[in-house]
Amino acid sequence: MKKISIALLTVALAVSGSVAAKEKELNIAADTSGLAVEMSQNIGRMALGMGVKEPLLISKSGESVKVAGSGSTVCAIKLAGDKIQGVSCK
């Protein structure tokens, strides 16, 4: 019984740690996109997943959002209203 309790506690701590890591606050140096905060956060997290390094610089030109960071990777995200239509990262 004691071994099962320890195993369950270990699993619970591992899961809670991974949830906390996903909810980490983004380091955004500048956001001049004019998008809603939630949309900027979602785009920032997507760009991080595609290799852009923090701190993030988020800007908008027309229907395209550009996300750059401290590394060389830059993502261009095409929007249609509040929907993401395409992502291109180089």
Question: Residue 78 falls within a domain, yes or no?
Answer: yes
Question: Residue 1 falls within a domain, yes or no?
Answer: no
Question: Residue 57 falls within a domain, yes or no?
Answer: yes
Domain count, the chain: 1
* Residue 85: domain span: 26-89
Question: Residue 42 falls within a domain, yes or no?
Answer: yes
Distance between CA atoms of residues 40 and 34, nearest Å: 9
Per-residue pLDDT of the chain (90 residues; tens, 9 = 90+): 444 445 444 555 555 544 545 578 999 999 999 999 999 999 999 999 999 999 999 999 999 999 999 999 999 999 998 899 999 999
What pLDDT score was predicted for residue 75?
97
- 56 C-beta neighbours (distance < 10 Å), count: 23
Question: Residue 81 falls within a domain, yes or no?
Answer: yes
Question: Residue 48 falls within a domain, yes or no?
Answer: yes
